């Protein structure tokens, strides 16, 4: 897991302010008043901090903005950042902006008695991510972030669960960013098996196990690959005897489209087609590391979709674990075949209280919602509203799209129970409608099509270009708010 920034909390000590190198950050409220720590630093720099917070720029700045004082006189540090903070949202935003400084040099944050320091450091931790493990020389040095704060032990305890969530987000980003020659199905399963060290129970089903269970839909996707298909079950039992919430993820480590070969341009991005499984893994890590008081099971189907003499063909008919037959019209609509068997297995074995599945499933979701929102489908508003509220709290975009029997005609097959694609109209909806056939009538279910949000070609507030880790924070929040005792 990528860990560039090391964070420590300590008591106030101004003894080396004058000679300390690196960078300083001062956290102030909307009123601009300076506490003892900031005042001590301000004395050394000739009132530069007081002048900054008393000026027009500070008054015009929005909560979460940073004022910069470059090369202040009187200290060895080359930079002082003044963070304007008022509420959690602004603290997270300010922390994310401070990450740019933490990535360049050691950073000392003067936190005074601000209650929002855990959120600020959380934002810094989320944004201070850099995936460069495949460069011959790292483009980021490891740096330390020191936080001077009243009662540092209590603040460190308050930050601990947020750190666990950030680590889960980073784990998801690492998985999603990895090239497919590194993150094979075998390597993916190994990394998930290593989550036993975080306290999860982890079990791996091999191809022979899935054959015995009748998972013809999932196994058919991997027929053309040299790497074996696998299913990984991660179990966290932090609650009582209640049925678990289930998370199910699509883990296509690389998607050529199979015999229905994708165009060459852009195919390299299909290393992220396991993004749904990556989110499930990140959530499970976060839950275990923060000791969530809930029962949650995470199931991911790991396959590679390659063209080969043994590969699945358009026109083939496969039989799912449920027993339904599927005519494969397009081998590039493979993710729903993986999820079909994973969903049914999940229900048969664990009888969960509800299921959330995640997949980079359709380009149609991007056409509908762009890169701002994941597409949300559900068979019950009571269940989906919990997720949508959690997404809003964590500012992870999500928008609910419809389901309905009228779309079933598009996936009707002449020779099998259904076909795996319904044509271009409403492509993300017909994919969800397909998955709904593998959800039992009384099972609360949410399908998240994260094709547009799992990986981006530009920086965002909390993530650099590449994998975002979208969904880890929102699903963790949903579990915390609705599945753990208050």
DSSP string, 42-93: HHHTTTHHHHHHTSHHHHHSPTT-EEEEES-TTSS-SEEEEEE--SHHHHHH
**pLDDT value for 207:** 98
466-467 vs 455-456, strand pairing mode: antiparallel
**pLDDT value for 444:** 98
Give the confidence band of 197 by pLDDT, cuts at 50, 70, 90: very high
CA-CA-CA-CA torsion for 214, 216, 218, 219, nearest 10 degrees?
Answer: 100
**pLDDT value for 2:** 62
Q: Which tens digits make up the pLDDT trace of 297-350?
A: 999 999 999 999 999 999 999 999 999 999 999 999 999 999 999 999 999 999
Residue 360 has pLDDT above 90, yes or no: yes
Are 420 and 338 in contact by the 8 Å Cβ rule? The answer is no
Mean pLDDT score, 370-394: 98
Are 482 and 393 in contact by the 8 Å Cβ rule? The answer is no
Residue 182 has pLDDT above 60, yes or no: yes
**pLDDT value for 397:** 98
Are 339 and 332 in contact by the 8 Å Cβ rule? The answer is no
SS3 of residue 422 by DSSP: coil
Cα–Cα distance list, 71 to 68, 75, 106, 468 (Å): 10, 8, 15, 34
Residues 174, 179, 182, 186, CA torsion sign:
positive
**Cα–Cα nearest to 200, from 301, 300, 281:** 281
138: buried, middle or exposed (CB in 10 Å: 19+, 13-18, 0-12)? exposed
Average the pLDDT over each of 102-111, 139-148, 268-277 and give the range with the smallest value: 139-148
Mean pLDDT score, 23-43: 93
Domains of the chain: 5-149 (3.40.220.10), 167-482 (3.40.630.10)
Residue 1 has pLDDT above 60, yes or no: no
Mean pLDDT score, 260-281: 98
**Cα–Cα nearest to 299, from 258, 253, 244, 260:** 244
Radius of gyration over alpha carbons of the chain, in Å? 24
**Cα–Cα nearest to 472, from 244, 160, 122, 169:** 169
- For the chain, percent of residues with pLDDT exceeding 70: 98
Higher-pLDDT residue of 44 and 133 is 44
- Cα separation, 299 vs 281, in Å, equals 9
Q: Which residues are catalytic?
A: 262, 336
């Amino acid at each position: 897991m990528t860990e560039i920034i090391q964070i420590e909390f300590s008591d106030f000590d101004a003894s080396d302010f004058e000679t300390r190198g690196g960078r300083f950050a001062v956290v102030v409220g909307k009123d601009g008043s300076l506490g003892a720590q900031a005042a001590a630093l301000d004395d050394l720099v000739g009132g530069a901090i007081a002048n900054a917070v008393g000026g027009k720029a500070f008054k015009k700045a929005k909560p979460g903005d940073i004022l910069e004082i470059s090369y202040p006189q009187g200290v060895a540090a080359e930079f002082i950042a003044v963070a304007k903070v008022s509420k959690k949202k602004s603290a997270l935003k300010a922390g994310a902006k401070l990450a740019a400084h933490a990535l360049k040099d050691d950073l000392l944050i003067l936190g005074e008695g601000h209650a929002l320091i855990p959120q600020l450091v959380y934002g810094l931790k989320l944004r201070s991510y850099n995936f460069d493990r495949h460069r011959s020389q790292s483009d980021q040095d490891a740096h330390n972030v020191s936080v001077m704060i009243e009662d540092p032990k209590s603040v460190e305890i308050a930050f601990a669960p947020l750190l666990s969530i950030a680590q889960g987000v980073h784990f998801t980003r690492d998985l999603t960013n990895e090239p497919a020659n590194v993150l094979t199905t075998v390597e993916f399963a190994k990394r998930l098996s290593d989550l036993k060290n975080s306290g999860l129970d982890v079990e791996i089903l091999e191809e022979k196990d899935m054959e015995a269970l009748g998972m013809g839909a999932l196994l058919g996707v991997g027929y053309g690959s040299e790497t074996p298909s696998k299913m990984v079950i991660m179990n966290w039992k932090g609650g009582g005897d209640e049925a678990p919430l289930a998370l199910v993820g699509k883990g296509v480590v690389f998607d050529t489209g199979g015999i229905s070969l994708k165009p060459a341009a852009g195919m390299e991005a299909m290393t992220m087609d396991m993004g749904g499984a990556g989110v499930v893994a990140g959530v499970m890590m976060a839950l275990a590391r923060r000791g969530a008081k809930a029962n949650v099971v995470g199931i991911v189907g790991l396959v590679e979709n390659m063209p080969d003499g043994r590969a699945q063909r358009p026109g083939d008919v496969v039989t799912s674990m449920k027993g339904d037959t599927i005519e494969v019209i397009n081998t590039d609509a493979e993710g729903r075949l993986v999820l079909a068997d994973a969903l049914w297995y999940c229900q048969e074995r664990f009888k969960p209280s509800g299921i959330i599945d995640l997949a980079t499933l359709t380009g149609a979701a991007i056409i509908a919602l762009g890169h701002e929102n994941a597409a949300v489908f559900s068979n019950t508003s009571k269940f989906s509203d919990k997720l949508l509220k959690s997404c809003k709290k964590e500012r992870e975009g999500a928008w609910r799209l419809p389901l309905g029997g009228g779309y079933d005609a598009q996936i009707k097959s002449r020779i099998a129970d259904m076909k795996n694609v319904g044509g271009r109209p409403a492509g993300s909806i017909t994919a969800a409608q397909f998955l709904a056939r593998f959800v039992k009538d009384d099972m609360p279910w949410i399908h998240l099509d994260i094709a547009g949000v799992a990986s981006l070609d530009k920086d965002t507030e909390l993530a650099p270009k590449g994998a975002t880790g979208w969904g880890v924070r929102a699903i963790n929040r949903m579990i915390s708010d609705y599945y753990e005792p208050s």
